[in-house]
Chain A
């Protein structure tokens, strides 16, 4: 409605102007015309008028279309998803769309009117320089150029923008620029950079060589430690064509290495294959490496992830240790053998004289030869213990596991020791569980343990009693030897089972008795320990598993 009225008004105005113009052109009154002529004239004028009106209508329509089209393009320019601006050679903003204005947080009228330079919106000084260089390039190149800058946005915000500019038309004093907000892209890029940095840091700070290679043998990851170990750089490894040829110059080791890779590929197991291999570093030194390799799919390709640990030093130490153990073992058996032989002659000589085989002796002679014989025996016992412990320690001791009755072993031990108890005036008591099942153990060895424990008690107990008891526990048989001796201080208990430890020097042992007992009980899958109240006595306990249980352990 509004539009129509305006059109009519417009038409009225035009008429008035037309009449005025006619008056000016023809001031004289028209000549007399015949009626017919007049008729014809009117007719023609009417046609003319209609024609004019139609032309006018056509013009108005065209004008509307043009206006609509302009509105559409203006709309497209102003509300495009990217910012548009026109800059001159100095970087002055000549035009800008609304998207750009809203990004920069400034009214368009303000942006254009106050002769704004684009550099006003650039935060970093060095980026302002960068922008001028960029602008220079744009006007020189006449092809699209891009650059990335950090800009001041709405309020106090900042954002990353990418500019793409091109000089258009013949007018080379202006360039059109599209500005895209790339803050999100920058964030993603930074995140990728951070991840890469973290990955790099981890890979480079571990003590192992790490490689990640494809099935053509190209290394995508090859850390510095790997370079230290092998002496070859990543480029050298990649340019070698076949790195195994460099690492394993010997055909045998190389064959093994290739076989390993083949195995990993064929088996397609998720578990890494771990091996020890000898490589030759770039400088020719041989190194023993622990290598763990696993295959994995990456971008539809078979890849290998390998970890290399240099164990050359460890191997050397291990070997030295093995040799030392061997040497110690050889030395111990040599020494004990060399000691035993003369001891045999010594003991036999003393025995024969003492027995009177070579003539009668005086009481003093017999007494002193008795001392000699006792000490020869003691020396022999010490040597046996040292040798025993050594065979136990190296695992060379053979155990004869057979069904045995622990109560019988206890009774036998009491029989052999009874005489000492009697001499010292001690009560020797047995407290046996008669219903104990038979269980598998080495009779001689367990007898040795029991003798050892009882012997210790007898040596140290001056009055009172020694009691041996047997009981059945949960799948175990427990043997306990209780005495009324001096007892052991709590802090000394842990030392009891250590080799060559002696709490009482005067007892004249090697300090190996309980260490040997511990080894024997451990081999049986049992347990041995001491309980004591200082000043009141000691109880030594040991457990032997009942057979079914031991088979499992």
Chain B
């Protein structure tokens, strides 16, 4: 069984390249474009890791993260924030209970390294 990663990101180009990178490294990637899609998926399935963009249409990444972390069924899933805004991301990550963060644009090694850290 491949490890399953839920990529919550609305930038389709970025979704495509990130998906490719992770799939080439042996992961299964499911994309959700917004919180609705994400929670629809999460109701029937539990991924091994979540990559979460902070800036999304509708419910923002921070909100999604907080919701996930107070849901008993989901709170153990590691969450890596995916963000383009630089200011105080480490502080934000801590506040909302995310496990790690990656700044866009990222180095391929950084992405793979951090993913591996959580799901081998």
| A interface, CB within 8 angstroms of B | 333, 336-338, 340-349, 351-352, 355, 357-358, 376, 380, 384, 387-388, 391, 396, 398
Which A residues lie within 8 Å of B43 (CB)?
A: none
Interface-located stretch among B9-17, B32-40, B58-66, B68-76: B9-17
User: Do B14 and A345 have beta carbons less than 8 Å apart?
Assistant: yes
Q: How far is the CA of A346 from the CA of B18 in the complex (A)?
A: 11
Report if B108 contacts A (CB, 8 A).
yes
Given contacts A341-B11, A352-B20, A398-B91, contact A346 B85 (CB under 8 A): no
Given contacts A351-B108, A357-B24, contact A345 B17 (CB under 8 A): yes
User: Do A341 and B84 have beta carbons less than 8 Å apart?
Assistant: yes
Distance from A405 Cβ to chain B, minimum over Cβ atoms (Å): 22
Distance from B23 Cβ to chain A, minimum over Cβ atoms (Å): 10
B11, closest chain A residue (CB): A341
Q: Which B39-95 residues sit within 8 Å CB-CB of chain A?
A: 55, 84-88, 91
Q: How far is the CA of A357 from the CA of B55 in the complex (A)?
A: 29
Distance from B116 Cβ to chain A, minimum over Cβ atoms (Å): 17
Instruction: Give the contacting residue for A337; candidates B20, B21, B84, B106; CB below 8 A.
Output: B84
User: Do B85 and A348 have beta carbons less than 8 Å apart?
Assistant: no
1/0 contact string of B100-120 vs chain A (CB within 8 Å): 000111101000000000000
User: Do B14 and A341 have beta carbons less than 8 Å apart?
Assistant: yes
Can you report 5 residue pairs joining A to B where beta carbons are below 8 Å apart?
Answer: A340-B103, A346-B105, A348-B14, A349-B13, A387-B87
Distance from A397 Cβ to chain B, minimum over Cβ atoms (Å): 8
Distance from A382 Cβ to chain B, minimum over Cβ atoms (Å): 12
- The 5 A-B residue pairs with the shortest CB-CB distance in the complex, in nearest-first order: A344-B104, A340-B84, A345-B13, A348-B17, A344-B105
Distance from A218 Cβ to chain B, minimum over Cβ atoms (Å): 58
Distance from B79 Cβ to chain A, minimum over Cβ atoms (Å): 18
Which A residues lie within 8 Å of B55 (CB)?
A: 337
User: Do B17 and A349 have beta carbons less than 8 Å apart?
Assistant: yes
User: Do B13 and A342 have beta carbons less than 8 Å apart?
Assistant: yes
User: Do A336 and B86 have beta carbons less than 8 Å apart?
Assistant: yes
User: Do B84 and A344 have beta carbons less than 8 Å apart?
Assistant: yes
Given contacts A357-B24, A398-B91, contact A348 B86 (CB under 8 A): no
User: Do B87 and A391 have beta carbons less than 8 Å apart?
Assistant: yes
Q: How far is the CA of A349 from the CA of B85 in the complex (A)?
A: 21
User: Do B104 and A343 have beta carbons less than 8 Å apart?
Assistant: yes
Which B residues lie within 8 Å of A358 (CB)?
A: 20
Which A residues lie within 8 Å of B24 (CB)?
A: 352, 357
Residue of A341, A376, A398 most packed against chain B (CB within 10 A) = A341
User: Do A348 and B21 have beta carbons less than 8 Å apart?
Assistant: yes
Instruction: Give the contacting residue for B85; candidates A337, A352, A380; CB below 8 A.
Output: A337
Instruction: Give the contacting residue for A352; candidates B17, B88, B106; CB below 8 A.
Output: B17
Q: How far is the CA of A352 from the CA of B18 in the complex (A)?
A: 10
Which A residues lie within 8 Å of B103 (CB)?
A: 340
User: Do A348 and B18 have beta carbons less than 8 Å apart?
Assistant: yes
Distance from A49 Cβ to chain B, minimum over Cβ atoms (Å): 142
Which B residues lie within 8 Å of A352 (CB)?
A: 17, 20-21, 24, 108
B109, closest chain A residue (CB): A351
Q: How far is the CA of A380 from the CA of B106 in the complex (A)?
A: 9
Distance from B16 Cβ to chain A, minimum over Cβ atoms (Å): 8
Distance from A210 Cβ to chain B, minimum over Cβ atoms (Å): 48
Given contacts A337-B55, A352-B21, contact A388 B86 (CB under 8 A): yes
A394, closest chain B residue (CB): B87
User: Do B86 and A376 have beta carbons less than 8 Å apart?
Assistant: no
Q: How far is the CA of A372 from the CA of B11 in the complex (A)?
A: 21
User: Do B104 and A384 have beta carbons less than 8 Å apart?
Assistant: no
User: Do B20 and A357 have beta carbons less than 8 Å apart?
Assistant: yes
User: Do A347 and B105 have beta carbons less than 8 Å apart?
Assistant: yes
Which A residues lie within 8 Å of B104 (CB)?
A: 340-341, 343-344
Q: How far is the CA of A338 from the CA of B18 in the complex (A)?
A: 18
17 further contact pairs, Cβ within 8 A, besides A345-B17, A357-B24, A376-B105: A333-B87, A336-B85, A340-B85, A341-B11, A341-B84, A343-B105, A344-B104, A344-B105, A347-B105, A348-B17, A348-B21, A348-B105, A348-B106, A351-B108, A391-B86, A391-B87, A398-B88
